[in-house]
Amino acid sequence: MMEMNATPSYNFSTTAVPGNNYSFYIDDYAEVRRSLHIMSLVVYCLTFILGVLGNGVVIWVTGFKMKKTVKTVWFLNLAVADILLTACLPLSVTYTALNFHWPFGNFMCKMTGLLGSLNIFASIYILVVISVDRLVSVVWPVWTQNHQSVRRASCVSLGVWALALILSLPSFIFSYTGPSNVNEEITICFNNFAFSDDDKTLSVNQLQQFRYQAMTITRFLLGFVVPFTVIVSSYAVIIHRIRRNRTLASHSSRPFKIIAAVITTFFLCWAPFQILTLIQLLNFQIYQSETLNHVTTIGIPITTGLALLNSCLNPLLYVFMGQDFKDKVCKSLMNVLETAFQDDVSGSVTDIQLVHTSQSKEMLT
C-alpha cells in the first residue's frame, strides 16, 4: 500500500517521508506501476475475502465449537492476529484505487499502521510460541502433561500481545497524513520520522534517517531473523528427537509435513519483503542507486502482497491440517445444513398436510 514513486516506506499502509532528497522517480515505468496497482488491488481483495472467511471460521470453531485446549488457544490468537490485518484491507483497497489518496483522516492512518505492525509481530511470535510448545512437549512430555494448562496458555498469549503492541507503537506514532510531493491536492498516509516537513535542516534529516534505520533494522531482526531462528531451531530438535525415538517416528508422517509447511511458508512469505525493505534502507542511506530503487519500487508491492497472503495461509497450515479441527468444522457445518434442511422439509410437510386437509374439507362440503 505504498505510493509507487515514493521513497522508503515502513508499514504496509504508509508511504514515504515527504520532502526528502531520495527521489528516483521511474516515469519510464508508468505501465509497470499501473500493472502493479492492479495486482495490488486484486491481492488485497483476495486476501480480504479469504482471510476474513478463513480466520473467521477458525475463530468460530476454536472459540465456540471446540473444547478449550492449549492448541486451540494458540490457533485462536493466531486467527485474531490475522483477521485484524485482513479486516483493514478495504481501507488499503480504497487508498490504492484512489491512486494513493488517503481520505480517512490521520487517526485511521495511524490505526492502520498500528494494526498492520501488530499483525506482523503478534502472528510471528505466536508461531514462535507454538514451535516452542511443540518442542517442550517432545523433549519433556511428562513435565508438559503436568504443567501445561489453558490458563497458562492464555497468560502467555496476553504476554505475546503486550510485546507485539509495544513493538508496534512506533508505527502508530510515526504514521501521519500530509500532502504528496507530486500533487499537493493528494493526501498520503506515510511515515514522518522527524515529525516535521522540514527537509533542508541537516539535524532534521539526520534524525529522520536514524529513526528510519532503527525501525527497519528492529523489524528485520525482531520481526524476522530472531523468530525464524527460534522456529527452525525448535523444529530441528523435534525432527532429531523423532528420528531417534521409534515410537514417535511411527507417528511422524503428519508432523513432518506440518513442520515443512510451517518453515517453508513462513520463509517464502516474509523473507522477500524483509530483505527488500533492508535493501531499500541501504540504498536510501548508502548507495543512492537508481537501479536498486527500481528494484525496490517494483519489488516491494509484490512482496507486500505475498506477505499479506500469509494471513490467508495460516488457517490452512496451522489449523485445517489438524484432523480434529477438520472433523469439528465438517460436523458443525453439517449440523447447520441439517437444521436448515430439516426446517425446509418440515415446512414442506406441513404445507402438504394443510393443502390435503383443505382439499378434503372441500370434497366433504
- What pLDDT was estimated at residue 356? 45
Residue 148 placed within a domain = yes
- What pLDDT was estimated at residue 25? 42
Residue 117 placed within a domain = yes
| Distance separating alpha carbons of residues 184 and 164, to the nearest angstrom | 35
The DSSP code for 28 is G
Q: At 179, phi and psi to the nearest 5? A: -70, 145
What's the half-sphere exposure (Cβ side, CA atoms, 13 Å) at 256? 11
Task: Give me the residues paired with residue 191 across strands.
Answer: 175
Structural domain boundaries, residue 71: 27-321
Quick one: 166 and 195 in the same domain? yes
Burial track 159-168 (b if 16+ CB lie within 10 A, e otherwise): ebbeebeebb
Is residue 163's pLDDT more than 90?
yes
Chain segment 87-101, per-residue pLDDT in tens: 889 998 999 889 889
Question: For the chain, how many structural domains are there in total?
Answer: 2
Residue 350 placed within a domain = yes
Residue 326 placed within a domain = no
Quick one: 210 and 342 in the same domain? no
Quick one: 214 and 76 in the same domain? yes
Chain segment 54-84, per-residue pLDDT in tens: 888 888 888 887 788 888 898 899 889 989 8
Quick one: 317 and 336 in the same domain? no
- What pLDDT was estimated at residue 162? 97
Return the minimum-mean-pLDDT range out of 54-58, 242-246, 253-257, 274-278.
253-257
User: What is the grid cell recorded at 220?
Assistant: 528485520
Quick one: 197 and 315 in the same domain? yes
Residue 145 placed within a domain = yes
Quick one: 239 and 342 in the same domain? no
Quick one: 313 and 344 in the same domain? no
Residue 292 placed within a domain = yes
